[in-house]
A and B are shown apart, each in its own frame.
Chain A
Amino acid sequence: MALAIRRSTSEVFGAAKWFIRRDCRALSTLPEKAVEVPVEKKRDRPVVSRIRANARNPNLALRHVYPEFLPDPNPKWRNSLREKLERTDMLNRRKQIDIPEFYVGSILAVTVADPHAQGKTNRFVGICIERKGAGLRAEFTLRNVVDHQGVEVRYDLYDPTVHSIQVLRLEKRLDDKLLYLRDALPEYSTFPFDMDPEILPDGTPVPVNPVQVKLKPRPWLERWERQELQGVSNIEEHLKEKDRVRRELRKEPWEKYDLMKQYRKTIPIEDQNDIWAEVNHQLKQLQLTRKKVSRKRTFGVPKTQLG
């Protein structure tokens, strides 16, 4: 009798575990990795469950497009009133300027009012290597190589001095952060300032650029070999035997089974539903008005050419 009860409880526990893991994976705020597709082909069930989860809840697709609307999951920093106020502020700001959809790896052009030169603006073009922060504190970093000198500029997404944010090339890369571009050869982060925007046709998924960069020889700024990077091709060339041993010792393959850790990193689905229900309508309206404006622009009167 006792044995039967124990077995049944263990089964229930296992089932619950499976459910939690399935939901957590669907809920993660981290950007989806491009390499997941070939890996997941082997396991059929998670793919189906994710599609079902997305079909059930269309809101969940928004968390990649507007990651800054989800608050920081750390319970110390949660405050529902502040989050709500911040969301209204963000929507108000989005009514003023067009903050487009972009990802780490996209190439952006940001124009900012320059308080140091009166009445002038400052335009910077670069590849987005990092995007972090939630709410009004959301920020992103652009990197470019200008005159053989690597330059990085960090911008606040909701900074009132920002005049415009333009996506010149919308694409993703193989990693969540491209900080390794600092140690890569300069041609991988060189972009001309007079780049023309590349327009993707409506409805196409965001392309993933599978380029693998080459790192310069050591010393590096970080231990890239321990970070399981997909977008670096020649990392093994620069490693010694010692580094390979250390990398094996430092690996934490059990991390992905840590359900509690995953749970703490994500916002629960109930909270997300509340947030998206609050902002979804307004975001859609904003998108529609932008589309109308852009169509008007495309069918505008052609400029008469002089001469």
Chain B
Amino acid sequence: MFKSLVSKLNPVQLSCGFHTTACMNEVRLLSRLRVVDNSEIGKRAMAEGKPPKVICVYNKKHVGYIGDRVLVAIKGQKKKGILVGMKQKQSVKVPKFDSNNVVLIDDNGTPLGNRIHVPIPTILRTILKEKTHSKGADYTKLLAIATRFV
């Protein structure tokens, strides 16, 4: 009885099945990314219109931020990648991109391609250096194939 009265007074709020706020553009499970290096698999996936899908974000929040390592499903394979450009709101002086960009790497941190054709945020120099441990994977190899920093 009460519920029906409320619904009569305010029919929109109860049947609200759509977004009323702007989306956060976060990288989470199953979000699509854009491969920005010239690796063969990445180029073919983007050309076919089947961009890679995130199937794991390697941090405790399960939300990918800039410089985080992700596992993506690309053309039926599992590949690791590093997020090098984010669409979500960034802090001051960190560039915000129009797409979520990823560079594919292998387990040692070596990039699969040999050229990145979009600008790379310079804050990655610090972030990737901190993530690299001696005897572990070396992620700073990615910086060597970047063409431009912003």
Contacts and interface: CB of A to CB of B under 8 A. Distances in A.
The majority secondary structure among interface residues of chain B is loop
Nearest to A147: B118
A115 B36 CA distance: 25
Interface in A103-122: 112, 114-117, 122
A41 to B, nearest CB: 38
Interface string B67-108: 000000000000000000100001111111111010000000
B119 interface: yes
B37 to A, nearest CB: 13
Interface string B98-126: 11010000000000000001110011111
A159 B123 contact: no
Interface string A145-171: 011111111111001010000000000
B122 A114 contact: yes
A278 B119 CA distance: 44
Contact of B148 (A117, A146, A152, A182): A146
Contact of B90 (A117, A154, A159, A222): A154
A134 to B, nearest CB: 16
A159 B125 contact: no
A139 interface: yes
B122 A149 contact: no
Given A146-B148, A146-B150, A221-B22, A151 B119 contact: yes
A87 to B, nearest CB: 21
B149 A122 contact: yes
Given A122-B150, A156-B92, A159-B92, A116 B123 contact: yes
6 contacts: A117-B149, A147-B117, A149-B36, A149-B97, A149-B118, A154-B92
